[in-house]
Amino acid sequence: MEKFKNSNLKLLNLGCGRHYHNDWTNVDFISTGEKVIAHNLLNGIPFAKNSFDVVYHSHVLEHFEEKDGENFIKECYNVLKPKGIIRVAVPDLEQIAQNYLKYLNASIENDKDAEHNYNWTMIELYDQTTRNYSGGKMGEYLKSNMPNPEFVYSRIGKPSNTNYEKLPVHRGSFFRFFNPMTYLRKAKVLLLSSEEKKALKIGKFRMQGENHLYMYDRFSLKRLLEKCGFKHIEIKDAYKSNIPDWNKYKLDVTNTVRKPDSLFMEAVK
């Protein structure tokens, strides 16, 4: 595969959260800094076709429903120049499933340490998908006197290296305060039953992008990239990339690997 020369590469980081590099064009629901463009990626990627050399997203794809995820990867393909590189990091469903079976079997055999790891694995698998409030059980577990911090940090990275704080919440434009419809909508909510209010609250939370709505492993992510037209699909680790000077940007590695539970995959347009 032809390697890039690193002169004036156009680099795009989608769903960057608070973790981005100023040499990149960075996008998230709301702007977490001067160099972050606010945009809902479910409305497409707001750049011209064939305009970037690299598109990267870390722990974003799993926040979209399966069909939206496919559209998102197709959009990534469109904004990449020919021979452009996509790098995707997602929580690795295969690793979670292996841990689940390992700690399930040991817990059945009354191994108490394994049971703690089993509890955490259930949080990774289900709390991240089903929670109806920010942080969910995972947030509570991380704030508690954890019985198995080493295991937890081996999965999600050391606290000094990771943002456990709440992610920015998508609340819509500031100008909504000047829109009479905002107040009409609020008045409409007053007429709802308590069940309907609860459903609305849950629905609104689930649309904020915090939940995992689908998950991937090395088989399904490769298949998705192929389906969207990508070639030369490779599994990477946090340090290795075909993106020139990858480690200089400190996106997947700061002091240590930022998100050790990740599957890292790259492909070429």
Ligand X SMILES: C[S@@+](CC[C@H](N)C(=O)[O-])C[C@H]1O[C@@H](n2cnc3c(N)ncnc32)[C@H](O)[C@@H]1O
Rounded (10°) angle between helices 218-227 and 66-79? 50
Distances (CA, A) of 197 to 130, 193, 206: 19, 6, 14
Q: Between 42 and 138, whose beta carbon lies closer to ligand X?
A: 42
Candidate residues 114, 167, 225, 257; the one interacting with ligand X per rule CB under 6 A: 167
- 71 in contact with ligand X (CB under 6 A): no
* DSSP tag of 216: B
**Are 74 and 228 within 8 A, CB to CB?**
yes
Candidate residues 29, 52, 120, 249; the one interacting with ligand X per rule CB under 6 A: 29
**Are 28 and 62 within 8 A, CB to CB?**
no
Using the rule CB under 6 A, give the single segment among 57-65, 139-147, 175-183, 231-239 that binds ligand X. Answer: 57-65
Task: Report the relative pairing of strands 25-28 and 80-91 from DSSP bridges.
Answer: unpaired
- 228 in contact with ligand X (CB under 6 A): no
Rg (CA), the chain: 20
- 269 in contact with ligand X (CB under 6 A): no
- 69 in contact with ligand X (CB under 6 A): no
The span from the CA of 195 to the CA of 192, in Å, is 8
- 215 in contact with ligand X (CB under 6 A): no
- 142 in contact with ligand X (CB under 6 A): no
Q: Between 114 and 209, whose beta carbon lies closer to ligand X?
A: 209
- 42 in contact with ligand X (CB under 6 A): yes
The span from the CA of 79 to the CA of 50, in Å, is 5
Task: Report the relative pairing of strands 231-236 and 80-91 from DSSP bridges.
Answer: unpaired
Q: How many CB atoms lie within 10 A of CB 159?
A: 12
- 12 in contact with ligand X (CB under 6 A): no
- 104 in contact with ligand X (CB under 6 A): no
Cα torsion angle, 182, 183, 185, 190, sign? positive
Minimum CB distance to ligand X, residue 124 (Å): 13
- φ/ψ of residue 147, rounded to 5: -80, -15
Minimum CB distance to ligand X, residue 115 (Å): 27
Candidate residues 36, 41, 54, 228; the one interacting with ligand X per rule CB under 6 A: 41
Q: Between 11 and 60, whose beta carbon lies closer to ligand X?
A: 60
- 54 in contact with ligand X (CB under 6 A): no
The span from the CA of 69 to the CA of 76, in Å, is 10
- 40 in contact with ligand X (CB under 6 A): yes
Candidate residues 26, 58, 78, 241; the one interacting with ligand X per rule CB under 6 A: 58
Binding site for ligand X (CB under 6 A): 15-17, 19, 28-29, 40-42, 58-60, 63, 167-168, 209
